[in-house]
Amino acid sequence: MQINIDSKSGFCFGVLNAISVAEKYLKKYGTLFCLGDIVHNNKEIERLRNLGLIVIDHNDLERMFNTRVLIRAHGEPPSTYETARKNKIEIVDASCPVVLKLQSRIHKSHLEMKETDGQLVIFGKEGHAEIVGLVGQTNNKAFVIGSDFKGIEKIDFKKPVTLYSQTTQDKESYRKLTNLLLSKIKTHCTTQQKDSKFKSFNTICGQVSNRGPHLTEFAKKNDIIIFVGGKKSSNGKYLFNICRQNNPSSYFISEKGDLNNDWFKNINSVGVCGATSTPMWLMEEVAKEIETLVKAKINS
């Protein structure tokens, strides 16, 4: 039996950079505070905790002074930087460059929309760390619309609308929301007004969105798929569903202990893949565990 590890799975650039920055500071100082989970994967967090990383929340940040705190790849709203300045906290900023650029664009659009009495809409998951940072660029005035499109009724379609997306969202869902907003706007303005009243910017990260088509082919090429991901990872749930849609024999696990011997009966190939928050070392660990369960050869 062949075990194929997907070489394109694993950390995206933003997460890889944040972890690299954390490791550098941990090696130098022995300890480092991190605002929120640095990545949505318990096994990687456990590894970093053993190196000295201490996860804190925003309430902790308010009570801390004269220390050093890492901002993870998801980014943070302006209020976090203001708290750090007030409390004399050194910020180790590991925000993803793609997210920082999007924050800047949204802040600029927010100022422009104020002049036209317009509304800024962000497609994403309410409460997600990246969304909190993006909405913070608008003084919390932006509307957040999720994949279920709930809350769309709060938008006044007689006024201009500008749409952005959280970087890790699904392209197809974004397209559907764009078309839905356009149809709503058409009912409230003339054809000539339509173009001036609606602007849409697809700000989904290509490195993340391109994994969907790749995993579609990867899932089809293997008899079964073992998808390794954190239970809190939105990206993991999305990518796993792509695997399952293209290969019903797809299984979601968080660690090697979740493997089931019965999955590997009468098959020729196993595909091991994961989310953008899944470390490659964990996928390799899972592959080696499968190798011990059955006679197999690992191909990575």
Domain of residue 183, CATH code: 3.40.1010.20
pLDDT class for 234, splitting at 50, 70, 90?
Answer: confident
C-beta of residue 229 within 8 angstroms of C-beta of residue 275: yes
Task: Domain of residue 233: give its range.
Answer: 2-10+210-299
pLDDT digits (tens, 9 = 90+) for 206-232: 888 889 999 999 999 999 999 999 988
C-beta of residue 118 within 8 angstroms of C-beta of residue 162: yes
pLDDT digits (tens, 9 = 90+) for 264-276: 998 999 999 999 9
* DSSP conformation class of 60: H
Task: Please tell me the pTM assigned to this model.
Answer: 0.90
Q: Per-residue pLDDT for 66 more than 90? A: yes
Does the annotation count 23 as an active-site position?
Answer: no
Predicted local confidence at residue 195, as pLDDT: 55
Predicted local confidence at residue 139, as pLDDT: 96
**Number of domains forming the structure of the chain:** 3
pLDDT digits (tens, 9 = 90+) for 110-135: 999 999 999 999 999 999 999 999 99
d(CA 267, CA 224): 8
- Give the domain-ending residue among 183, 203, 223: 203
Predicted local confidence at residue 206, as pLDDT: 87
Q: Per-residue pLDDT for 295 more than 90? A: no
| CA–centroid distance for 90 within its chain | 25
Query: Both 74 and 120 in a single domain?
Result: no
Position of tokens 């802040």? 107
Selected catalytic residue, list 62, 76, 130, 284:
130
Contacts of residue 56, defined as CB under 8 A and 6 or more positions apart, other chains included, come to: 33, 34, 35, 36, 64, 69
d(CA 296, CA 287): 10
Helices 13-29 and 42-51, interaxial angle, to 10°?
A: 20
Query: Both 84 and 149 in a single domain?
Result: no
